[in-house]
């Protein structure tokens, strides 16, 4: 069993009511930051045993840390969590907590992530893990030194259809990959009166849509197609100022009528990539795409076919393969049991899955990694790789040249 310094998990196993629940070791967990993503983690912990009945250790949410105390108290009542605190350090210092979800704003990722890992607690942290690759590398060093397991919220690689696409590409079903396009378009920041929250501030939200959405794209490119050799990028801010909020925000609230301040980070990014395989790839992301609600997906072309996926039709792949080359028919495949973790959720193909299901898969893989030497899900090392790609994009925009992500480390 890998348990960091071992104390929290061992204590929970040997003592406390709930040290075991009849099926396995209980993993006492805490959540730091309870906005929308903190709620997604709480729901995943609550559901994971329903879909993975043999999972061990079994997570049990014991404490929520959030400086908005009313929000924390409401969540604790809903999820039957025995404790709430305003200061996240109390979670880190609690010897009974074995693992922590960090779902706080980006600018806190480095400090909290390093503290959690250094305390010997396993860490499930949301992407992009800080404001830069330096932040992600710092958390990775802390986790490596402490010997704790990590998970990072690159949830789209958990989609069974994406897993199926990876397998068919690796099997050569579409031939040798020649070029691809990945898109992540959303309208969550398209309204000009969207509140000027931390997401739009350079010092707190980092590189804007690069960290929010392009980080997912960079991970998917690597997951499906391998290493990125170099990038050349362009970025833009299309909504130059926004109204300042008058209180705590959650999600993407409006704040019309207030004093306006400048948007400091990127609304849009487009990057042309050269992959180590020799393939070419375009990655495009926008948070201000009017008319696009979570329009995420990819189209990958090979010498003998094509595979396409759209997040809004999560359980489908469009695949064309064969030796026709011209006028090749493309058919829809409904993925089902046998594709990724699909069987843990649905019994037959074409039954839909949801975003929340992807977080349940993350939770299961995180917990299983603590007692399993293998690691199926995304880790802090994946966050470092993605962040290096984002840093390369930023450098490319600033210097007007092609940049290698490897040179950013």
> Which domains, ranges and CATH numbers included, belong to the chain?
7-155 (3.40.50.720), 160-313+315-353+379-399 (3.30.360.10)
Q: CA-CA distance, 296 to 181, in Å (whole number)?
A: 11
Is-contact 91 71, C-beta < 8 A? no
Query: d(Cα 273, Cα 327) in Å, to the nearest integer?
Result: 28
pLDDT the model gives residue 247: 65
CB 84 within 8 A of CB 14: no
- Provide the pLDDT for residue 372: 84
Residue 11 has pLDDT above 80, yes or no: no
| Cα–Cα distances in angstroms (integers) from residue 22 to residues 29, 197, 337, in the given order | 18, 45, 28
- Check pLDDT > 70 for residue 409: no
pLDDT of residue 232: 98
DSSP letters of 199-253? GG-HHHH-STHIIIIIHHHHHHHHHHH--EEEEEEEEE-SS-EEEPPSS---SS-
Cβ neighbour number for residue 338 with a 10 Å cutoff: 12
- Quote the CA–CA distance of 294 and 315 in Å, as a whole number: 15
pLDDT at 46: 98
Tell me what pLDDT residue 18 has.
38
Residue 374's pLDDT band, with cuts at 50, 70 and 90, is confident
Q: What is the value of pTM for the model shown?
A: 0.92
Give me 325's structure tokens.
């080359």
- Give residue 353's pLDDT: 97
Average pLDDT, the chain: 92
């Amino acid at each position: 069993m890998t348990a960091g310094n071992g104390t929290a998990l061992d204590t929970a196993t040997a003592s406390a009511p709930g040290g075991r629940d009849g099926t396995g070791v209980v993993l006492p967990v805490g959540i730091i930051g309870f906005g929308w993503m903190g709620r997604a983690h709480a729901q995943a912990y609550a559901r994971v045993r329903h879909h993975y009945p043999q999972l061990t250790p079994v997570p049990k949410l014991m404490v929520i840390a959030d400086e908005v105390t009313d929000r924390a108290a409401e969540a604790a009542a809903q999820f039957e969590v025995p404790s709430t605190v305003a200061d996240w350090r109390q979670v880190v210092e609690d010897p009974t907590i074995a693992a922590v979800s960090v779902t706080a704003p980006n600018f806190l990722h480095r400090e909290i992530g390093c503290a959690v890992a250094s305390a010997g607690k396993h860490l499930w942290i949301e992407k992009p893990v800080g404001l830069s690759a330096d932040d992600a590398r710092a958390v990775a060093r802390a986790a490596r030194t402490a010997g704790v397991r990590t998970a990072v919220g690159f949830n789209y690689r958990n989609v069974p259809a994406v897993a199926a696409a990876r397998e068919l590409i690796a099997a050569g079903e579409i031939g040798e990959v020649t070029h691809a396009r990945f898109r992540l378009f959303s309208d969550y920041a398209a309204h000009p009166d969207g509140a000027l929250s931390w997401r739009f501030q350079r010092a707190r939200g980092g590189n804007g849509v690069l960290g929010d959405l392009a980080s997912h794209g960079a991970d998917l490119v690597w997951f499906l197609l391998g290493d990125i050799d170099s990038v050349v990028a362009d970025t833009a801010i299309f909504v130059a100022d926004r109204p300042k909020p008058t209180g705590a925000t959650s999600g993407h609230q409006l704040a019309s009528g207030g004093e306006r301040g400048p948007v400091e980070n990127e609304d849009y990014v487009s990057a042309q990539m050269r992959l180590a395989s020799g393939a070419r790839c375009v990655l495009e992301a926008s948070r201000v795409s009017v008319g696009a609600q979570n329009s995420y997906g990819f189209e990958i072309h090979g010498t003998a076919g094509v595979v396409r996926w759209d997040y809004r039709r999560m359980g489908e792949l469009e695949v064309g393969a064969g030796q026709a080359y011209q006028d090749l028919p493309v058919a829809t495949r409904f993925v089902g049991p046998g594709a990724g973790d699909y069987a843990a959720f649905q019994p037959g193909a074409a039954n839909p899955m949801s975003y929340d299901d992807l977080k349940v898969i993350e939770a299961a893989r995180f917990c299983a990694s603590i007692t399993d030497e293998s690691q199926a899900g995304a880790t802090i090392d994946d966050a470092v790789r993605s962040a290096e790609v984002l840093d390369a994009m930023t450098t490319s925009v600033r210097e007007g040249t092609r940049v290698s992500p490897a040179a950013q480390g």
